[in-house]
Chain A
Amino acid sequence: MSAILDHLPEFWEGLIVTLQLTAASFLGAAVVGLVITAMRVSPVGVLRGIGTAYVETFQNLPLLVLLVLAVFGLPEIGIKADLLVTAIVVIALYEAAYIAEALRSGVNAVSAGQGEAARALGLTFGQSLRHVILPQALRTVIQPLGNIFIALTMNTSLAAAIGVVDLTAAANRVNLMEAQPIPIFVGAGLAYALIAACAGFVTGRLERRLVMVR
């Protein structure tokens, strides 16, 4: 226990980095995922193709591979970025593929008549999506989005492998000094579990509040 208590500041700093990674990459993933979803359901074939290619690419590569590639590949083409920023961008792009798929299933769950009614009123495709389809799609996929958020939280620990000192890396460092892996990693694990529990609580509340009477 003292192995953790003696190193609370390190854990705290690691936790802050993990929270930064999680919040920033989820935000980025949500924005990119929304754009990809719009492309995948658009009437323009080329856009649908690009959207599909994006999802297939990022769903079929391991996140760790992408992270390592970005860290070593980006400087090769002259892009030098902070490790934390690199990790945030890569995780965001990766998770965006999953968010896009969850949103698309939500869009498919909205009856075709809703879009027809919107178009029949003179709304453009973008307006129909924004005011009619997506608000309803979102309500049906709150739970899967919550799951993606939790998976993303866990995935941020891979950033430790490219040198970002997040909660996992901090635990690892402390362990190198104290050599008490069980309490140290159980402690770190509990912190992740706490974040996941908060996410579960929030999605549950959101789902109850936004549930749509049909």
Chain B
Amino acid sequence: MIQVQGLNKWFGDHHVLRDIDLEVAQGEVVVVIGPSGSGKSTLCRCLNRLETAGSGDILIDGVPAPVEGRELARLRADVGMVFQSFNLFQHKSVLENVMLAPVKVRGVSRTEAESTARQLLARVGIAEQAGKLPAQLSGGQQQRAAIARALAMRPKVMLFDEPTSALDPEMVGEVLDVMVQLAADGMTMVVVTHEMGFARRAADRVVFMDGGQIVETGEPNAFFEAPTTDRARDFLAKVLTH
């Protein structure tokens, strides 16, 4: 579904992604973990070209991801994205947030878009919040609305860029539950997160990044029980002791 080959990225002199190769199969859930500044968010943002890559290839569904213009917009329509800071459209109700892209990008009629939107909001458990503005919702509800908004485009793959990092601890669970359900339904997912519990529960594969490189990758059980690299062992020792 996603193939990344030899991806490099610089911010000025800072080499943030070094020779990244990554494949994500249809229906696979890949969880990317690693310390802050390891490049995992940048990698996620490169996949739908919110960040431009320095060099290397990104193929979505076997097709090279277009660099700009309408073709790029068409690609992004098929790749859902969920952000750390939700980024719901502040001036629109939750329902309108979910309806906007299907109507404007896919040309779906408003009535059809609305019924789909209401179904999705029910699926993520916030049907009764449909008429409210984003600022009137809790963080967890906002993030679930953002997931519904992305799903409304019927994406082939979903990218999650630290979806629970901005949430109060008691709201993390409700968002992760939605994501676990989504994974169980067979959605192809790339999830950048610090939630090791989610990685264990829902990942088909864990990718550990450090210093802009993929250091280790493996099945979640094998990775968490017996990481093969020192850096992964160090990282897990730090995050799992608390």
5 inter-chain pairs at a CB distance below 8 angstroms, sorted by A residue, are: A117-B83, A123-B104, A132-B89, A213-B136, A214-B90
Tell me, yes or no, whether A180 is within 8 Å of chain B by CB: no
Chain B's closest residue to A121 (CB) is: B101
A123-160 CB contacts (< 8 Å) to partner B: 123-124, 127, 131-132, 135-136, 139
> How many angstroms between the C-alpha atoms of A212 and B85 in the bound complex?
18
Please, what's the 1-or-0 string for B217-239, where 1 marks a CB less than 8 Å from any CB in chain A? Answer: 00000000000000000000000
Q: Do residues A120 and B76 form an inter-chain contact, with CB atoms below 8 A?
A: yes
Tell me, yes or no, whether A78 is within 8 Å of chain B by CB: no
Contact of B150 among A111, A121, A212, A213 (CB under 8 A): A121
Chain A's closest residue to B74 (CB) is: A122
Tell me, yes or no, whether A116 is within 8 Å of chain B by CB: yes
Contact of A127 among B89, B105, B149 (CB under 8 A): B105
Q: Do residues A113 and B83 form an inter-chain contact, with CB atoms below 8 A?
A: yes
B interface, size bucket: 20 to 34
B145-172 CB contacts (< 8 Å) to partner A: 146, 149-150, 153
Tell me, yes or no, whether B24 is within 8 Å of chain A by CB: no
Tell me, yes or no, whether A119 is within 8 Å of chain B by CB: yes
> How many angstroms between the C-alpha atoms of A120 and B48 in the bound complex?
7
> How many angstroms between the C-alpha atoms of A2 and B88 in the bound complex?
62
Contacts of A136 in B (CB 8 A): 89-91
Q: Do residues B91 and A139 form an inter-chain contact, with CB atoms below 8 A?
A: yes
Interface residues of B (CB under 8 A from A): 48, 50, 68, 70, 73-81, 83, 85, 87-91, 100-101, 104-105, 133, 135-136, 146, 149-150, 153
B33 CB → nearest A CB, Å? 22
Tell me, yes or no, whether A108 is within 8 Å of chain B by CB: no
Interface residues of A, dominant DSSP? helix
Contacts of A57 in B (CB 8 A): none
A125 CB → nearest B CB, Å? 8
Known: A116-B87, A121-B81, A212-B135. 5 other contacts (CB 8 A): A118-B89, A122-B73, A132-B89, A136-B89, A214-B90
> How many angstroms between the C-alpha atoms of A135 and B149 in the bound complex?
19
> How many angstroms between the C-alpha atoms of A212 and B146 in the bound complex?
19
Contacts of A43 in B (CB 8 A): 68
Q: Do residues A116 and B50 form an inter-chain contact, with CB atoms below 8 A?
A: yes
Q: Do residues B153 and A116 form an inter-chain contact, with CB atoms below 8 A?
A: no
Leading 6 A-B pairs by shortest Cβ distance: A122-B77, A117-B87, A121-B101, A113-B87, A213-B135, A120-B81
Contact of B149 among A116, A121, A131, A139 (CB under 8 A): A121
> How many angstroms between the C-alpha atoms of A43 and B68 in the bound complex?
10
Q: Which of A43, A118, A136 has the most CB of B within 10 A?
A: A118
> How many angstroms between the C-alpha atoms of A113 and B88 in the bound complex?
9
> How many angstroms between the C-alpha atoms of A98 and B178 in the bound complex?
47
Contacts of B153 in A (CB 8 A): 121-122
Contacts of B68 in A (CB 8 A): 43
Contact of A123 among B73, B81, B146 (CB under 8 A): B73
Contacts of A131 in B (CB 8 A): 100, 104
Q: Do residues A212 and B91 form an inter-chain contact, with CB atoms below 8 A?
A: yes
Contacts of A135 in B (CB 8 A): 91
Contact of A213 among B50, B100, B133 (CB under 8 A): B133
Q: Do residues A123 and B105 form an inter-chain contact, with CB atoms below 8 A?
A: yes
Chain A's closest residue to B136 (CB) is: A213
B233 CB → nearest A CB, Å? 35
B104 CB → nearest A CB, Å? 6
> How many angstroms between the C-alpha atoms of A206 and B85 in the bound complex?
29
